[in-house]
């Protein structure tokens, strides 16, 4: 049967059914596309964003710790040094918690390499802190100031640079997967 031979009502019903089928196809494709976007957003929020926020907190804690550590090494006030070191120790506990949370969350080889760099830089940072505190405890404050400039601050910068590399890597993953 040709369309020209159909009644007007049949033509309208036929056209309406074609439009209805097209709308059903479009609606289902929009639904599937939206579901895929939601899955990507959930993955970003549950994985990449959490890691990025933890590394940001870790970096902020490093800044706090390094400032307090520098003050503890260079001060000649024993009570202030004791309080500063207590704060540094408390920060170190939180950093250890963050590190133990972040480490199993990183699966890519590049991320694991950044973590290895952080481990090395962190160990060096704490070794320099211990060394600086030994100098400060000996009462050689001029030597302590020189030590901070020559060794402790470079170790701090190395640790910060390692954290920043991991942070930038995590931000890149968010951008690339978002």
Q: Is residue 77 part of a domain?
A: yes
62: CB partners within 8 A, 6+ apart: 95, 156, 159, 160, 163
Q: 109-137 vs 78-102: helix axis angle to the nearest 10?
A: 170
7: CB partners within 8 A, 6+ apart: none
Given a cut of 70, is residue 152 above it in pLDDT? yes
Q: Which domain holds residue 103?
A: 46-177
Given a cut of 80, is residue 6 above it in pLDDT? no
Which percentage of the chain shows pLDDT scores above 70? 94
Cβ–Cβ under 8 Å, residues 160 and 117: no
Over residues 7-46, the pLDDT tens digits come to 888 888 888 999 999 999 999 888 888 877 777 666 666 6
Q: Is residue 41 part of a domain?
A: no
Write down the pTM of the prediction.
0.72
For the domain that residue 50 is a member of, what is the CATH number?
Answer: 1.20.120.30
Q: What is the pLDDT of residue 4?
A: 73
Over residues 86-142, the pLDDT tens digits come to 999 999 999 999 999 988 888 888 889 999 999 999 999 999 999 999 999 898 888
- Per the structure, the count of domains in the chain is 1
Which percentage of the chain shows pLDDT scores above 90? 58
């Amino acid at each position: 049967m040709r369309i020209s031979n159909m009644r007007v009502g049949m033509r309208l019903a036929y056209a309406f059914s074609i439009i209805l089928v097209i709308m059903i196809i479009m609606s289902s494709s929009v639904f599937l596309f939206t579901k895929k976007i939601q899955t990507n957003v959930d993955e970003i929020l549950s994985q990449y964003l959490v890691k990025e926020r933890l590394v940001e907190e870790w970096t902020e804690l490093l800044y706090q710790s390094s400032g307090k550590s520098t003050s503890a090494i260079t001060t000649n006030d024993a009570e202030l040094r004791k309080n500063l070191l207590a704060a540094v120790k408390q920060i170190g506990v939180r950093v250890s918690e963050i590190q133990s949370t972040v480490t199993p969350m990183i699966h890519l080889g590049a991320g694991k390499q950044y973590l290895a760099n952080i481990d090395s830089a962190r160990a060096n940072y704490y070794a320099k802190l211990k060394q600086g505190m030994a100098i400060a405890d000996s009462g050689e404050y001029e030597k302590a100031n020189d030590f901070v400039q020559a060794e402790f601050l470079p170790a701090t910068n190395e640790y910060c640079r390692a954290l920043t590399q991991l942070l930038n890597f995590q931000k890149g993953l968010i951008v690339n997967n978002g």
